């Protein structure tokens, strides 16, 4: 491959627009030399950092400078010319690719449309290709004006349920999140990717999806995992702060980074019932439950006790308009007390109640 081909392929790969043949070509190029792998890792990191920035604050020159500082080793003066001769072409390639990525991002963002569901609400929309999307509270869906013309790609932050409309086979339906891309092969699936959650999760109701992204945070290698009907895929983000339990767990092998679970059809509403105003908890910790309740009822929950956060609860709530009612029911089966002051909820221990779930 010549330089122009490499530029195009790397940009398509990193922006998750490459087809299977192009993905394989990039993998071969990256694995051909350690320097290729390093340049690719830097580019990938640059793109990921762009996703939550406004175009006007993206600085390609700074990215180039950062890359140069990290790539060029500190050597004695008499060796620096040799080092420069080895990396100059690659650094130049990185600079060009950074500009291409910035332009790609800027063009997309300038033509972007955004639909959001605020905390306390759920929104249902119909995309121009006929796809139905339910957005859960605290979620955003972005897509550009070329949707259903040159692409069927959306960007999700939060949680959404998709019923994908049939489309041209040449234009796949893609859902990009900060860390992973879901490529639709079927029709109905739920996708959860809130920025303050420690995991990515998708559950397939009907059809099949392919989840693409870097599972290995060291190599940045793009992996593809297929999820079939009534399967749940959960991927914990490979960051140390999301594995606090490791410090207290000597057997870290039990902490799975990737989980693939079979879901009983009778329990599917635990994952997609929210779109029908149903909350289902099946052995969730109060910490997990509090995040759901914060978004659903637009409140801030304060719960400082670690033991209380790890307390587990099972139960379901249908069309419950008030968080007070939800907490009252939880209180009846767990050792908690709570108080509500405006939009702030304080949850504390109730040492008199010993009926908490194990």
Distance between start and end Cα atoms, the chain: 59
Contacts 24+ apart (CB under 8 A), 335-340: 335/311, 336/286, 336/308, 336/311, 340/299
- 11 Ramachandran zone, left/alpha/beta (phi>0; psi -120 to 50): alpha
137-140 contacts at long range (C-beta below 8 A, 24 or more positions apart): 137/295, 137/296, 137/298, 138/194, 138/295, 139/194, 140/114, 140/115, 140/116
Residue with tokens 């308009």: 321
Q: Binning pLDDT at 50, 70 and 90, where does residue 330 land?
A: very high
pLDDT of residue 264: 92
Of 208, 212, 185, give the one whose Cα is nearest residue 200: 212
Fold of the 277-349 domain: Phage tail protein beta-alpha-beta fold (3.55.50)
**pLDDT of 105:** 55
As a whole number of angstroms, the distance between CA 347 and CA 303 comes to 5
* Residue 57: Cβ-neighbour burial (10 angstroms; 0-12, 13-18, 19+): exposed
The Cα–Cα gap between 228 and 183 comes to 12
Reported as a single tens digit per residue, the pLDDT across 161-217 is: 999 998 777 788 999 998 888 998 878 999 999 998 889 999 999 999 999 876 554
Q: Looking at the structure, give the CATH architecture of the domain made up of residues 112-267.
A: Sandwich (2.60)
Q: According to DSSP H, which parts of 15-146 are helical?
A: 20-31, 34-50, 60-71, 77-110
Q: In whole angstroms, give the CA distance from residue 217 to residue 100.
A: 24
Convert the pLDDT of each residue in 278-326 to its tens digit. 999 989 999 999 999 999 999 999 998 888 999 999 999 998 989 999 9
pTM: 0.68
pLDDT at 52: 45
Pick the more confident residue, 219 or 234: 234
**Lowest mean pLDDT: which of 85-99, 117-131, 338-352?**
85-99
User: What does the domain layout of the chain look like in residue ranges?
Assistant: 3-110, 112-267, 277-349
Task: Give whichever of 62-66, 111-115, 208-212 has the largest mean pLDDT.
Answer: 208-212
| Highest-pLDDT range among 44-53, 62-71, 123-132, 256-265 | 123-132
**Pair 101, 50: CB distance under 8 Å:** yes
Cα–Cα distance measured from residue 341 to residue 16, given in angstroms and rounded to the nearest whole number: 45
Examine the pLDDT at 78 and tell me if it is beyond 70: no
Question: Could you tell me the sign of the dihedral formed by the alpha carbons of 287, 233, 26, 50, in that order?
Answer: negative
Q: Is the pLDDT of residue 125 over 90?
A: yes
Residue 223 DSSP SS3: strand
Cα–Cα dist 292/164, whole Å: 25
Whether 24 shows a pLDDT value over 60: the answer reads: yes
Q: Provide the β-strand partners of residue 202.
A: 191, 233
Of the candidates 35, 41, 38, the one whose C-alpha atom is nearest the C-alpha of residue 222 is: 41
* Helix, strand, coil percent values for the chain (each to nearest 5): 40, 30, 30
When comparing pLDDT for 185 and 120, which is higher? 120
């Amino acid at each position: 491959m010549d330089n122009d081909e490499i530029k195009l392929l790397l940009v398509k790969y990193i922006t998750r627009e490459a087809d299977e043949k192009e993905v394989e070509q990039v993998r071969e190029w990256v694995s051909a030399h350690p320097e290729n792998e390093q340049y690719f890792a830097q580019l990938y990191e640059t793109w990921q950092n762009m996703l939550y920035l406004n175009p006007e604050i993206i600085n390609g020159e700074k990215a180039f400078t950062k890359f140069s500082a990290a790539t060029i080793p500190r050597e004695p003066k008499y060796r620096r010319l040799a080092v420069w001769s080895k990396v100059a072409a690659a650094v130049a390639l990185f600079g060009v690719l950074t500009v291409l990525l910035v332009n790609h991002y800027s063009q997309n963002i300038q033509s972007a449309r955004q639909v959001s569901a605020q905390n306390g609400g759920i929104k249902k929309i119909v995309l121009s290709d006929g796809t139905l999307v339910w957005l859960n509270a605290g979620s955003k869906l972005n897509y550009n004006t070329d949707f259903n013309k040159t692409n069927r790609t959306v960007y999700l932050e939060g949680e959404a349920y998709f019923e994908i409309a049939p489309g041209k086979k040449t234009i796949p339906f893609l859902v990009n999140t900060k860390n992973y891309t879901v490529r639709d092969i079927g029709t109905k699936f739920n996708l959860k990717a809130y920025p303050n959650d420690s995991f990515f999760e998708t559950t397939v109701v009907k059809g099949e999806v392919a989840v693409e992204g870097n599972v290995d945070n060291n190599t940045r290698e793009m992996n593809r995992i297929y999820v079939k009907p009534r399967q749940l895929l959960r991927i914990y983000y490979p960051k140390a702060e999301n594995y606090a339990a490791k410090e207290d767990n000597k057997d870290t092998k039990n902490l799975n980074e990737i989980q693939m679970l079979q879901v009983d059809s009778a329990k599917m509403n635990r994952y997609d019932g929210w779109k029908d105003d149903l909350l289902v908890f099946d052995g969730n910790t109060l910490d997990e439950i509090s995040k759901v309740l914060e978004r659903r009822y637009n409140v801030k929950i304060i719960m400082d006790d670690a033991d209380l956060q790890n307390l587990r609860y099972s139960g379901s709530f249908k069309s419950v308009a008030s968080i007070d009612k939800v907490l009252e029911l939880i209180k009846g089966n767990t050792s908690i007390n709570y108080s509500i002051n405006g939009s702030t909820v304080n949850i504390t221990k109730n040492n008199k109640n010993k009926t908490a779930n194990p």
